[in-house]
Amino acid sequence: MEKLLNDFSVGLFAWQVLLFVVLMLLLRKFAWKPILNAVNEREDSIKEALDSAEDAKREMAKLKSSNEDLLNEARADRDAMLKEAKEIKDKIVGDAKATANEEAEKIVVAARESIQHEKMAAITDLKNQVALLSIEIAEKILKDELSSADKQKAIIDNVVKDINLN
């Protein structure tokens, strides 16, 4: 350290201080200002980006809330449509059942009437056939009975007796 003090020169020291000050002024004008400006600009752009991100986050929260509202509304609409469709289906099925029951009742009534008519026709036909058979049987019996004159006279006498008695 002593050697440094012995070799010390004031002129050299003044030049070095002057060069150092000039170098500092040059660095300040040409290097630090642009560097500081770039750093400040970078800081501002980062701040703006953070603000934009915060705004986007708030907007996303609003959109999410809006989407949830829309989803809930869509679900409610869907449920209402399903309920209405079910009611319409039940009404259509009920109307179809009522119509089918009415038609079935009409068919049953018509069938009963048809059966009654067929029954009456069958009974009438049966009576006609029985009457024809009875007439044929009576005709055959009378032919046998009336084949001789003695038998005819006996039948006439019996009929006359019955008429006189009455």
pLDDT tier at 164 (50, 70, 90 boundaries)?
low
pLDDT digits (tens, 9 = 90+) for 8-58: 788 888 999 999 999 988 888 888 888 888 899 999 999 999 999 999 999
Higher per-residue pLDDT: 95 or 4: 95
Domain extents in the chain? 2-165
Distance CA 58, CA 41 (A): 25
**Residue 1 has what pLDDT?**
61
Specify the range with the lowest mean pLDDT, choosing from 5-9, 30-34, 73-77, 88-92: 5-9
The tokens describing 86, both together, are 């079910």
Q: Specify the pTM.
A: 0.40
